[in-house]
Amino acid sequence: MNPLRRAGARPGTAFTVTLDGREIEALPGRTVAATLWAAGVTSWRATRGAGRPRGVFCGIGVCFDCLVTVNGLPNQRACLVPVRPGDEIRTQEGTGHDD
């Protein structure tokens, strides 16, 4: 059985955000990380040195593995940022700044 049905949850109307220009469906109340996971995206940053893929590690804002750029603001922790209609999310390379 669908967990939303079992819990009696009625999420609000879905809306669209973009990840690197690709449209992704989002639901109100989700974080950027939860939205990306629901879309099948598990990595959206690469480590500075070795370029290894990263996504959510702790999921509670303690680490910085899930950094992403949201609406032009780099270094946003995807596990903490609520997703909003029309958000432009970008994968982050290095520090997220023009070095």
Domain count, the chain: 1
Tell me if 3 is assigned to some domain: no
Tell me if 49 is assigned to some domain: yes
Range of 33's domain?
Answer: 13-93
pLDDT at 98: 61
Is the pLDDT at 19 greater than 90? The verdict is yes
Tell me if 8 is assigned to some domain: no
Q: How many Å apart are CA 93 and CA 46, to the nearest integer? A: 6
Closest by alpha carbon to 18, among 83, 94, 92, 95?
Answer: 83
pLDDT at 47: 82
Q: What is the CATH number of the domain that holds 55?
A: 3.10.20.440
- pTM, two decimals, is 0.84
pLDDT at 97: 64
The pLDDT-based confidence of 42 (bands split at 50, 70, 90) is: very high
pLDDT at 10: 76
Q: How many Å apart are CA 27 and CA 15, to the nearest integer? A: 6
